[in-house]
Amino acid sequence: MELAYYSDYAVRLVNTEEPARGQDSLTSVEAVRELFGANQSAARRATDADVTRFRSVRGRLRAVFEAADGGDETLAVDLLNSLLLEFPVSPQISGHDVRDDDGTPLWHMHLADHPSNATAGFAAIAAMGLAFHLTEYGVDRLGLCEAAPCRNAYLDTSTNRSRRYCSDRCATRANVAAYRARKRLEADRAVSGLSADSAQRTTANGER
């Protein structure tokens, strides 16, 4: 498993809440377990108590994205470092018995967590994955969707650092909204122009 994969843990957790819409899907232990994806052994450690703990970590991870999105690189790094200190991991070499066509083991780096609870394990992996992404690609690659009121977190992996939305759906919605706004502005200007012309003609007729 590539280390970059782990950064998605942070995005998945942050996006369980949409504050502007008042929506929160992290309301049960089942929702917590779903965040672990294929890591069923880690998911089984989750209990009802982890719901509140996960929400706390979620808020801290969102704060990292907000700082990065706002251009405050130092704050983003400081917030992420505090998570790394509180939720440490141990890098290990793993192969999971996977071999290539020649029978040679396919080794890769793996993040081994030693958590006291499910939240600690997830937070450790999420923070470390986000740290790898930040140091590899830059703080400005951590963003929040510009399609209001979404504000979902995303990781920009575009070649020209041009990503602004969390999904194609939000990008389309924002483009449609911008198009309609331009059309309204053009219509308003046209009406204003007609009104001005009419006023000028009225004034001219009165002066005669």
Taking Cα atoms as reference points, which of 96, 81, 91 lies closest to residue 39? Answer: 96
**Residue 114 to residue 87: CA distance in whole angstroms:** 9
Quick: pLDDT tens for 28-43.
Answer: 999 999 999 877 888 8
Tokens coding 189: 């200007």
Residues in the chain: 208
pLDDT of residue 1: 43
What percentage of the chain has pLDDT greater than the value 70? 83
Pairing mode, strands 153-155 and 142-144: antiparallel
H-type helices in 71-167, by residue range? 73-86, 118-137
Average pLDDT for 157-162? 86
pLDDT of residue 97: 63
Highest mean pLDDT among 23-27, 133-137, 201-205: 23-27
**Residue 87 to residue 83: CA distance in whole angstroms:** 6
**Tokens 């996960």 map to which residue?**
54
Quick: pLDDT tens for 170-200.
Answer: 999 888 876 677 877 777 677 776 665 665 6
Average pLDDT for 105-111? 73
Higher pLDDT, 3 or 9: 9
- The answer to which of 32-41, 67-76, 112-121, 149-158 has the lowest mean pLDDT is 112-121
pTM: 0.78
What percentage of the chain has pLDDT greater than the value 90? 54
| Residue 141 and residue 156 in contact, taking contact as beta carbons nearer than 8 Å | yes
